[in-house]
Amino acid sequence: MEIQKKVGKMYHRVDPTFKRKLLESPGGETFKFCYQCGTCTATCPVARFTDVFRPNKVIHLAKLGIRNVVYSDAVWLCVNCYSCTERCPQGVKVADVMRALKNLAVADGVIPEFSKAFLTTILDTGWAYSIPASRIAKRASMGLPPLPKPFLEDLKKLAKMTEASNLLEQERDAE
């Protein structure tokens, strides 16, 4: 919700150039072919549990150029299972479009809290989530080999090259 508030302030109008932007970003090429049959949403395992995510609605709004809604939490709910892409009759690579939208959102500085926290954890610890000392002790007591050492330096280099760390810093500065 926080994101929506922020984005709502940034872009509250229809952006006619958005379509082109999405078409040009890798993965977004096919979204124009959508004819709103609803197969993707009907297939989507996420849509069965929440009303927030409707892939065909996201594509429809993207076509209209309403990017504050497209940049909402919705796109981040896509789990990239590719069921929609498999069944789309028009050859729209729905999951790829969602990824392209995520990339566009990030490029505009819109990153959900969860993804930020996730990225921070990876860069700080080298793990997807921080493992408590108690669990490491338990592993040792069960005779399991110690966990491999994470390559923190390499990860940081990668983050720098992909500009992921810049994004995080910008966010921090803003705060």
Partner 1 sequence: MESSNSKSESSEEIRIGVNVCHCGLNIGGSVNCDEVAEYAASLPHVAISRALRYSCSDQGQELIKKDILDYKLNRIVVASCTPRLHEPTFRRACEEAGLNKYLFEMANIREHCSWIHLHDREAGTEKAKDLVKMAVAKAALLEPQEEREVPILRKALVIGGGVAGIQAALDLADTGYRVYLIEKEPSIGGRMAQIDKTYPTMDCSICILAPKMSDAGRHPNIELLTASEIVEVKGYIGNFRVKVLKKSRYVTKDCSACGDCSTACPVTVPNEFDVGLATRHAIYTPFPQAVPSTYIINKENCLNTNFIVCDKCIVACERNAIDFTIIPETIELEVGTIIVATGADVFDPTVLPNYGYGKFLNVITSLEFERLINAGGPSGGKLLRPSDMTIPDTIAFIQCVGSRSEKGTDSCSNVCCMNTIKDALLIKEHWPEVKIYVFYIDIRAFGKGFEDLFRRAKEEGVIFIRGLPAEILEDRKTNNLWLIGENTLSREIYKINVGMVTLSIGLEPREDSNIIQRLFTLSRAPDGYFMEAHPKLRPVDTPTGGVFLAGCAESAKDIKDSVTQASAAASRANILMAQGKVTIEAITPTPIIDNCKFCELCTKVCPYNAILVDRENKITEVIEAACAGCGNCGAECPSDALIMRHFTDEQIIAQIDAITEQDANMKIVAFCCNWCSYAAADFAGVSRMQQPTNIRIIRTMCSARVSEKFIARAFARGAAAVLVAGCHLNDCHYIDANYQTKKRVERFWRRMERRGVRKERLQLLWASAAEGERFASKVREMAETVKNVSSEEIQKTVKAFKKR
The answer to whether 148 contacts partner 1 (rule: CB under 8 A) is no
DSSP-derived letter for residue 148 is P
In the shown chain, the binding pattern of residues 89 to 108 toward partner 1, with x for contact by CB under 8 A and - for none, equals xxx-----------------
Return the residue of 18, 28, 31, 41 that touches partner 1, per CB under 8 A.
Answer: 41
Nearer to partner 1, 47 or 111 (CB): 47
Q: Residue 134 CB: number of other CB atoms within 10 A?
A: 8
- Beta-carbon contacts of 140 under 8 Å, excluding residues fewer than 6 positions away, are 146
Nearer to partner 1, 57 or 67 (CB): 57
The answer to whether 30 contacts partner 1 (rule: CB under 8 A) is no
The answer to whether 146 contacts partner 1 (rule: CB under 8 A) is no
Q: With contacts defined by CB under 8 A, name the span among 9-17, 49-57, 105-113, 135-143 that binds partner 1.
A: 49-57
- The secondary structure element, H or E, covering residue 135 is helix 133-141
The answer to whether 87 contacts partner 1 (rule: CB under 8 A) is yes
As measured in angstroms, the least distance from the Cβ of 96 to partner 1 is 15
Q: Tell the burial category of 3 from Cβ atoms under 10 Å away from its Cβ (0-12, 13-18, 19+).
A: middle
CA-to-CA distance for 69 and 85, rounded, in angstroms?
22
